[in-house]
Structure 1
Amino acid sequence: MKFLFQLLSGWPLPLLHALGSAVGWLAFLLSPTYRRRFLANAAQAGYGFAQVRSAVAQAGKLVTETPRLWFGAPPRVSWDGVEAIEALRAQGRGIVFLTPHLGCFEVTAQAYAQRFGAITVLYRPPRKAWLRELVDTARNRANLHAAPTTLSGVRQMLRALKAGDAVGLLPDQVPPQGLGVWAPFFGREAYTMTLPARLVQQTGAAVLLAWGERLPGARGYCVHVRPWEGALAADASQSAAQVNARMEELVRAGPTQYLWGYARYKKPRSEALA
């Protein structure tokens, strides 16, 4: 599998995205479960299929662009709102980036690492050993560090923030049992991580919202950055609701690039934490 990823990493982005469009539609047409979840999640947010139809192809592009992002040359990236990052770095503050399953979330952390320096991203280690090894070797690039969804991973993120570095989270990812609370997301209760508020409370870090938009014609990406307005509540349920509300705002800014097929409303699973 690593050989295949390395082979695909040399393909030009337009070709990878063309392949991804086909992969996305095949998955949508051949998997009734995926299709039902895609349509149900979009409807929950108030979107008809015609409004988010292109998100089918975008989901496939997410898959086929990954080899390029993990093993290939860095793609072209532009920035929108980079001043918010520069202001916080000038203050020496740690930054917590919150990014939903929107657009190319891999490129947001990579672009930050290339331009600004160290960033630690939270990820869930794959269950299969061969895939775990692939992910571990691919994601740990210069200035880009991966922290697993364990207590040791949380401690790694705390150390980074206290050193004035950045961390990145996908707060619309369902956390393991015991690491979240139920909070509304597009009007339906979803199990939501409480980690963002805890990181801020324990380190005094600032929060920024970010997502990586795929530009038309495979011309690269644009990383959009927005400041967090107000303060995160100390109460876990209130802060989770705040985070979900902000994620909703980002999704509505680019609904055709949201991963509507993600099982956002599933029940959390029990995992051993270490």
Structure 2
Amino acid sequence: MSKASRNPHTASGIEYHWGVRKLLLKLCLNAIAALPLALVQAIGAFLGMLAYVGSKQYRSLFRPQYEAVVQARKLPLKLWEAIRASGMLFSDSLWIWRNPKKALKLVEVQNWDVVEAAIGEGHGLVMLTPHLGGFEIIPRVLAQHFPATILYRPSRQEWLNEVVEEGRAYPNMHFVPTNLNGVRQMTRALTRGEAIGILPDQVPSGGEGVWVPFFGRPAYTTPLPARLANRNNTPVVMFTAKRKGLGQGWLMQATRLTPLSEDANTAAAELNIAIENSVLVAPEQFIWSYNRYKHPAGAELPPSN
């Protein structure tokens, strides 16, 4: 038993301080979100540079992952643009959470006929949204037209989880955790002909993925989108929300994928190719600070070269 649990005064003091911190954090986030989008993005860009300069761990993830893709695909190196955009990725999300109506007015939607045709088939829709640009606007656009059940991974930090869940709450959008119950709820949503949303570039828990290439390196990848889509011939659509100029909003595009394989490894490889194509829409706006190649606990070792 910890000292805090033995001493009720200490425990209540800790809870009080956490409560104050959460309140201050929410006040700061609300204050930032009340600013114009251009200023919020400028603040995000500054924080992105600060994180890069101030954190060796951040740099050790960001730069090698970004540079490897740029070199392999013979793209122009725009390191500092990517660093600034990494901060905007989070500031965009914050602003969209707090200003959904304003955000919806700033999104230009292309290829919407692809979405309408897919949902019109009556088998639901598997919506894939990589961490790129203003990705948080995508489910809100869809929620204007039909219900969407979104799979998410709760944060280990309770205060952060509260902030994210509060920010993501939106009419016609239902968030479910990455567990068996969440998958069941998504299956039921598809049965009702509704949309489900998955972040396909997120590393799944050990035992829930397979090792397949992502930009030439083995990456533990979820075969869940294929498994859900193949149950009832559900269309799979990949979405991107490329950030326009400072304060100008986002360009949302939809691409319908060819049916994914029944084989888990082949389907995951097909999925990663689709994610790569989405990243190449705006390579500087992808979340390069995320360790896409980590080995989750409980997962088998990646194949040796």
- For residue 29 of structure 1, report the CA deviation from its aligned partner: 1.0
Is the CA contact (8 Å cut-off) linking 1:139 and 1:145 kept in structure 2?
A: no
The correspondence for 1:64, drawn from 75, 91, 115, is: 91
Q: For residues 49 and 29 of structure 2, what CA distance do their matches in structure 1 show?
A: 21
Is the CA contact (8 Å cut-off) linking 1:158 and 1:203 kept in structure 2?
A: no
Alignment size in residue pairs: 269
The one-letter amino acid paired with 1:23 is L
Is the CA contact (8 Å cut-off) linking 1:207 and 1:227 kept in structure 2?
A: yes
- For residue 52 of structure 1, report the CA deviation from its aligned partner: 4.3
Please state if 1:51 is matched with 2:78.
yes
Q: Counterparts of 1:146-225 in structure 2 under 5 Å?
A: 146-225=175-254
Percent identity, please. 38
Q: For residues 73 and 232 of structure 1, what CA distance do their matches in structure 2 show?
A: 33
Query: Any idea what SS the aligned residue of 1:204 has?
Result: coil
Please state if 1:38 is matched with 2:62.
yes
Which stretches in structure 1 are left out of the alignment for 5+ residues? none
The correspondence for 2:114, drawn from 65, 79, 84, is: 84
Compared with structure 1, are the counterparts of its residues 7 and 46 closer, same or farther at alpha carbon in structure 2 (3 Å cutoff)? closer
TM-align CA RMSD? 1.7
The one-letter amino acid paired with 2:129 is T
- For residue 134 of structure 1, report the CA deviation from its aligned partner: 2.2
**Aligned counterpart, 2:125:** 95
Q: For residues 217 and 66 of structure 1, what CA distance do their matches in structure 2 show?
A: 15
Q: For residues 61 and 166 of structure 1, what CA distance do their matches in structure 2 show?
A: 27
Q: For residues 79 and 109 of structure 2, what CA distance do their matches in structure 1 show?
A: 25
Q: For residues 119 and 165 of structure 1, what CA distance do their matches in structure 2 show?
A: 6
**Aligned counterpart, 2:278:** 250
Query: Any idea what SS the aligned residue of 2:230 has?
Result: helix
**Aligned counterpart, 1:241:** 269
Compared with structure 1, are the counterparts of its residues 73 and 200 closer, same or farther at alpha carbon in structure 2 (3 Å cutoff)? closer
Q: For residues 150 and 234 of structure 2, what CA distance do their matches in structure 1 show?
A: 15
Query: Any idea what SS the aligned residue of 1:53 has?
Result: helix
The one-letter amino acid paired with 2:50 is L
- For residue 192 of structure 1, report the CA deviation from its aligned partner: 0.3
- List per-residue Cα deviations over 1:91-112 (Å, max 9, x = no partner): 2231111222221211111121
Q: For residues 70 and 284 of structure 2, what CA distance do their matches in structure 1 show?
A: 13
Please state if 1:140 is matched with 2:169.
yes
**Aligned counterpart, 1:113:** 143
Range with bigger deviation, 262-271 or 236-245: 262-271
Q: For residues 163 and 281 of structure 2, what CA distance do their matches in structure 1 show?
A: 33
Which stretches in structure 2 are left out of the alignment for 5+ residues? 1-24, 300-305
Query: Any idea what SS the aligned residue of 1:250 has?
Result: helix
Give the TM-score of the pair, scaled to structure 1: 0.93
